[in-house]
Structure 1
Amino acid sequence: MQKERNFGLDLLRAIAITLVVVSHLTYVFVQESDHPIILMIRTLGAVGVDLFFVLSGFLIGGILLKGIENDRTRFPDLITFWKRRWWRTLPNYFLMLLVNIAIYHLFTKELPIDIGSFFVFTQNFAHPQSEFFTESWSLSIEEYAYLVLPLLMFCVLAVFRTNGKLVFLYTTLSVVFVAFLLKYQFYLNTEILTYKNWSGMFRKVVIYRLDSIYFGFLLVYVMRQKMDFFKRHKFKALVLGGLTFLAVHLSIFMLNLQPELHPGFFVFLYLPLISLSCALAFPFAVHMKRSAGFNPLVYFVSTRSYAIYLVNFSAILLCIHYLIDLETAALALKLVLSVVYLGMTIGISNLIYNYFEKPILDYRDRNIR
């Protein structure tokens, strides 16, 4: 199984989930903080999700592009694509949704007011999501990304039966442009008060973030068209991506850029630049050779990353918050709790992967090809 996987992409996935978990770990020690180190770690956690988005778009776009190249462009092929995606994403999601409902009811004796929206992924479609099952915001974006653009591509191909690769490119660019128009509408009509408001009202809302996954579609298209070029310049691309990332965040720090004072930067530039900096790491990653020392660890973290993402915050960290007043807890206790948090995250995620997720994926691979 490990030999069939791309080590570099697994490494990117492992880095992304590590950034997310480490950023959440800071909440064991402090809730609200303006300390530069805490802000940096939490920013990197947000970047981890953006890296997941680009990686998802790269992989799913690659599947669609390969299907187009092999003339698998009829609606039964689209249904098969959706079935395989849903068997991959929905079982874990609904399992953890039910777990989170149980935890919420256990500690509050109530049910979330908007609980129904989480079953149909509308909890953050065009408005901020509630505090319940907070990490699910990214799953909504993923699910709509799998629906919107593939359906549009197959409809265009069904009508025109033209060059499939160009349909892939132009439909992707069209949807990205529509996303830009929606962002412009947000920019004109919404007052941003704080970074937290910007994150809730914009960064975590489906209609403004679909393009973050479709950048991955564009990435895989360009890399396939210019394969030799990117292979020759993979290290330069990696360095350029790192410099772009540093330049963006140094500019924010040195110029004191804030969403309430510079909304245009945060609406139109910040997230696309982060996606671009992540994308520039892919030419290097896809051509990485396996590391005998790190491959087992990377494989372990990568394969369990989806379970880790769904488990670590709402199901474990918030339970700790419910049970213990971390605001007044001693540092020694917080250190112990941080070890407990990490241990439970890894242990529970491993159980979910081995006894729930992997059997479902094996069933999918046997029956939906």
Structure 2
Amino acid sequence: MYINNKHRIFGLDIIRASAILLVLCSHSTLLLFPNQNNIYTTVVQFFGTVGVDLFFVLSGYLIGGILLKQIKEGKVKFKDFLYFWVRRWFRTLPNYVLILILNILLFYFLHEKIIENVIYFFVFLQNFSSPHPDFFTESWSLSIEEYAYIIGPLILFSLILCFKNYSKKALYVAMLLIIICIITFLRINYHSNHNIISHHDWSKHIRKVVIYRIDSIYYGFLAAYLAQTFYATWNRYKHWFLALGVLLFLGVHSCIFIFKIQPENAQLFFNVFYLPLLSISLLLLFPFFSAWKKGGLFKSTITKISVLSYALYLINYSLVLLTIQNFINVEAKSVMIKLLILFLYWFLSFGLSYVLFVYYERPMTKLRDLKFFKEIK
């Protein structure tokens, strides 16, 4: 698999590869122990959720950097934002639509019915303001990312139209503050009008809903602004930021563990403050990792996992894991059989992801470089 390393930052590949491996490890516990809930599976599954948050803040950091580059180059007309969306959509939509269709067909084959309101999935409305249906469940995070890429640039373009004499970078910051404040208000409003009864309830109604979660992406946008505007400080104190991020992450979760803080007994903390604190703690790692240019012995492997991460995320759960569980009662098998099934899960996930990337994702992504789309600029 040929990979163009010209513009890749190895440290960010480490973050992306770590994120998808955390997700796969988390899903592995669901494959082997679907009905067990102990400290070991809970910890692994927790870090799987952290993997998704890493994807969020990393995506925001990278896309925010692209928008700032557009601003620096004076590309702030609507056609420039349209070109930005076209490039994003050719990167994300082909894989998503293909895997969605495969999930619909597989669900029909196994259950002889079509999921209700399946059309919502094609426009990412399945979890816009309500809990995600129990179908293609990993797509909840993709809805959040897609709307983040649409709403932010739209607000930024509107601000540029209304305040033509203002600094475009200042309007970029204003866009971020507007969105973060609105989403925070929506979470406060939800907190004031609903009662969370369990961690599962909180995850379903807050963590996985677009209008309560989209700000996680914009904290990444903010980090991109800080990285470019205060580059010397960002780079000089990268080890201090790394230490602060680790301390914040460990401090928050140590308090949660020691004092048994849960969404049902600390609703204000979880509904309003926890997710932003998690995003900020992860972003404090970025000065260190964004400066990590050289790789060691495992550079090639880490980079390949990073490149396959989007395909892996789409394929591993609904298509591979749930299909295995549909035909095999994994929990009832012996340890040796479980290990073989686990190997099969990882082998199929990586193998199918490789095929998807090489023969579909990469060719579809290259279409955005056609002359027709470049003329949009």
Work out whether the TM-score is over 0.5: yes
Aligned residues: 369
> Which residue of structure 2 lines up, in the alignment, with residue 287 of structure 1?
291
Aligned match of 1:190: 194
Q: CA deviation at 1:323?
A: 0.4
C-alpha deviations, 1:24-52, integer Å up to 9, x for none? 01112211333112111101000100010
Q: Which of 3, 6, 20 pairs up with 1:17?
A: 20
1:214 aligns with 2:218: yes
Distance in 1, matches of 2:356 and 2:102, equals 12
| 1:3 aligns with one of 1, 6, 11 | 6
Equivalent-residue separation in structure 2 for 1:10 and 1:153 (angstroms)? 28
- In 2: Cα distance, 1:119 partner to 1:259 partner: 32
Q: 2:353 aligns with which of 339, 342, 349?
A: 349
Aligned to 1:248: 252
Separation in structure 2 between the aligned mates of residue 327 and residue 12 of structure 1, nearest angstrom: 32
Which of 101, 124, 129 pairs up with 2:127? 124
- Aligned equivalents of 1:31 and 1:270: distance in 2? 27
| Segment of structure 1 superposing worse, 131-140 or 328-337 | 328-337
Residue of structure 2 in register with 1:113 after alignment? 116
After superposition, residues 1-369 of structure 1 pair within 5 angstroms as 1-161=4-164, 162-367=166-371, 368-369=373-374
Paired letter, 1:122 = L
- The answer (yes or no) to whether the contact 1:74–1:158 under 8 Å persists in 2 is no
DSSP-derived class of the 1:192 partner:
coil
**Alpha-carbon distance in 1 for matches of 2:130, 2:119:** 15
- Counterpart-to-counterpart distance in 2, 1:346 and 1:272: 32
Kept in 1, the 8 Å contact 2:90–2:367? The answer is: no
What is the distance in 2 between the residues matched to 1:298 and 1:290?
12
**Helix, strand or coil for the counterpart of 1:169?**
helix
Distance apart, 1:205 and its partner CA: 0.1
Paired letter, 2:153: P
The 3-state SS of whatever aligns with 2:76 is coil
Gap regions ≥5 residues in structure 1: none
The 3-state SS of whatever aligns with 2:40 is helix
Shift in Å, 1:128: 0.3
In terms of mean alpha carbon deviation, does 2-11 or 42-51 score higher?
Answer: 2-11
The answer to whether the Cα contact below 8 Å between 1:33 and 1:39 also exists between their aligned partners in 2 is no
Letter in 2 for 1:324: I
Taking structure 2 as the reference length, the TM-score comes to 0.96
In 2, are the aligned partners of 1:137 and 1:204 still within 8 Å (CA)? yes
Tell me the secondary structure at the aligned position of residue 126 of structure 2: coil
> Do 1:28 and 1:334's aligned partners in 2 also have CA atoms closer than 8 Å?
no
d(CA) in 2 for partners of 1:292, 1:194: 44
CA distance in 2, matches of 1:32, 1:172: 41
Give 1:351 shift. 0.4
Shift of 1:353: 0.4
**Structure 2 Cα separation of the partners of residues 326 and 34 of structure 1:** 16
How many percent of aligned residue pairs carry the same amino acid? 42
Shift of 1:327: 3.0
- TM-score normalised according to structure 1 size: 0.98
Note if contact 1:141-1:210 (Cα within 8 Å) is conserved in structure 2. Answer: yes
Mapped to 2, the partners of 1:327 and 1:100 lie a distance apart of 24
The alpha carbon displacement at 1:239 in A equals 1.4
Mapped partners of 1:194, 1:335: distance in 2: 32
SS in 2 for 1:3: coil
Deviation, 1:274, is 1.0
After alignment, is 2-11 or 302-311 more displaced? 2-11
Q: Give the whole-Å Cα distance in 1 for the aligned partners of 2:98 and 2:34.
A: 28
SS of equivalent residue, structure 1 residue 4: coil
Could you say what the CA RMSD is over the residues aligned between the two structures, in angstroms?
A: 1.0
Checking the alignment, whether the CA contact within 8 Å between 1:57 and 1:215 is kept in structure 2 is yes
CA deviations over 1:145-190 (Å, ceiling 9, x no partner): 0111100101110222121000000111111000011001110111
Contact 2:107 2:114 in 1 (8 A): yes
